[in-house]
A and B are shown apart, each in its own frame.
Chain A
Amino acid sequence: MSRSWLRRVNSLVILAILIMVTVAVVWPILHMMSAAFAPGNNIAGLSIVPFADGFTAAHFEYLLTQTNYPRWFLNTLIVAVCTSAGTLVVASTGAYIFSRFQFAFKRQMLMSMLILEVFPSFVGMIAIYVVLYRFGALDTLWGLVLVYMAGNLPFTIWLVKSYMDNIPRALDEAARIDGASNLRVFSTIILPVSRPILTFLAVTSFAAPWMDFIFPKMVLRSPENQTLALGLFSFVTDKNNDFTNFAAGSLIVAVPFVVFFILTQKSLIASLSSGAMKE
Chain B
Amino acid sequence: MTRPAIARAQGKALPLALAFMGLAHLTVLRQRVKGVVFAFVEIIFLLLLPDSIGKLGQLVTLGEPQLELPVKQRGNSMFMLIDGVMTLAMIALFAVLYYISVRSALADEHRQALDGKQLSVREQFGAFANSAFHVVGLAPAVILVLFFVIVPLIFSACVAFTNYSAPDHIPPAKTVDWVGLENFERLFSGEAEWAGALTRVFVWTVVWAMLATLTCYFGGMLMAVLLQESKLRIKPFFRAVFILPYAIPVVVSMLVWRNLLNGAFGQVNQTLMAFGLIDQAIGWLSDPWLAKFAVVMINLWAGFPYFMLLTFGAMTAISPDVTEAARLDGATGFQRFRHITLPLVLYQTAPLIIISFAHNINNFGAVFFLTMGDPTVEDSTVTGAGGTDIMVSWIYKLTITLMKYNYASVLAVVIFVVLAPFAIFNFRRTKSFKEGEL
Which residues 248-282 in B have Cβ within 8 Å of A in the complex?
A: 248-253, 255-260, 262, 264-267, 270-271, 274
Question: Chain B nearest CB: distance from A163 CB in Å?
Answer: 11
A61 on interface, CB distance cutoff 8 Å: no
Question: Chain A nearest CB: distance from B308 CB in Å?
Answer: 10
By CB atoms of chain A within 10 A, which of B250, B253, B266, B432 has the most?
B432
B18 on interface, CB distance cutoff 8 Å: no
Interface contact B151-A118, CB-CB below 8 Å: no
Binary B-proximity of A31-46 (CB < 8 A = 1, otherwise 0): 1100000000011101
Interface contact A272-B310, CB-CB below 8 Å: yes
Interface contact B148-A147, CB-CB below 8 Å: yes
In the complex, what distance in Å separates the CA atom of A254 from the CA atom of B247? 8
Interface size classification for chain A: 35 or more
B53 on interface, CB distance cutoff 8 Å: no
With A22-B241, A43-B262, A210-B249 in contact, do A150 and B147 touch (Cβ < 8 Å)?
A: yes
Contacting residue for B409 out of A105, A126, A276, CB 8 A: A126
B149 on interface, CB distance cutoff 8 Å: yes
In the complex, what distance in Å separates the CA atom of A257 from the CA atom of B252? 12
With A104-B103, A131-B148, A262-B240 in contact, do A119 and B419 touch (Cβ < 8 Å)?
A: yes
Contacting residue for A232 out of B241, B251, B426, CB 8 A: B251
Interface contact B138-A97, CB-CB below 8 Å: yes
Question: Chain A nearest CB: distance from B256 CB in Å?
Answer: 5
B78 on interface, CB distance cutoff 8 Å: yes
With A25-B245, A116-B145, A154-B149 in contact, do A43 and B259 touch (Cβ < 8 Å)?
A: yes
With A17-B226, A104-B103 in contact, do A183 and B133 touch (Cβ < 8 Å)?
A: yes
Report chain A residues within 8 Å CB of B241. Answer: 22, 25-26
A14 on interface, CB distance cutoff 8 Å: yes
In the complex, what distance in Å separates the CA atom of A269 from the CA atom of B100? 43
Interface contact B153-A261, CB-CB below 8 Å: no
Question: Chain A nearest CB: distance from B194 CB in Å?
Answer: 19
Q: List the B residue with the shortest CB-CB distance to A211.
A: B249
Interface contact A25-B301, CB-CB below 8 Å: yes
Contacting residue for B144 out of A44, A90, A105, A229, CB 8 A: A90
By CB atoms of chain B within 10 A, which of A28, A93, A114, A149 has the most?
A28
Q: List the B residue with the shortest CB-CB distance to A18.
A: B238
Interface contact A118-B426, CB-CB below 8 Å: yes
Interface contact B431-A165, CB-CB below 8 Å: yes
With A31-B256, A150-B147, A257-B249 in contact, do A104 and B230 touch (Cβ < 8 Å)?
A: no
Report chain B residues within 8 Å CB of A157. Answer: 141
In the complex, what distance in Å separates the CA atom of A268 from the CA atom of B240? 12
Interface contact B144-A43, CB-CB below 8 Å: no
A224 on interface, CB distance cutoff 8 Å: no
Contacting residue for B244 out of A26, A44, A210, CB 8 A: A26
A170 on interface, CB distance cutoff 8 Å: no
List 9 contacting pairs A-B, 8 Å CB cutoff, sorted by A.
A18-B238, A115-B427, A126-B155, A128-B152, A131-B148, A146-B148, A162-B432, A260-B247, A277-B313
Given contacts A118-B419, A277-B351, 17 further A-B contacts (CB under 8 A): A18-B230, A22-B241, A22-B242, A43-B267, A91-B141, A97-B133, A104-B99, A115-B423, A116-B150, A120-B392, A124-B155, A126-B159, A214-B364, A243-B259, A253-B249, A254-B247, A262-B240
Q: Interface residues, chain B, CB within 8 Å of chain A?
A: 78-79, 81-83, 85-86, 96, 99-100, 103, 130, 133-135, 137-138, 140-142, 144-145, 147-153, 155-156, 159, 223, 226-227, 229-232, 238-253, 255-260, 262, 264-267, 270-271, 274, 301, 306, 309-310, 312-314, 316-317, 348-349, 351-352, 355, 358, 362, 364-365, 368-369, 392, 395-396, 399-400, 405, 408-409, 412, 415-416, 419, 422-423, 426-427, 429-432, 437-438
| List of 4 A-B pairs having minimum Cβ-Cβ separation, nearest first | A124-B152, A273-B313, A150-B148, A127-B155
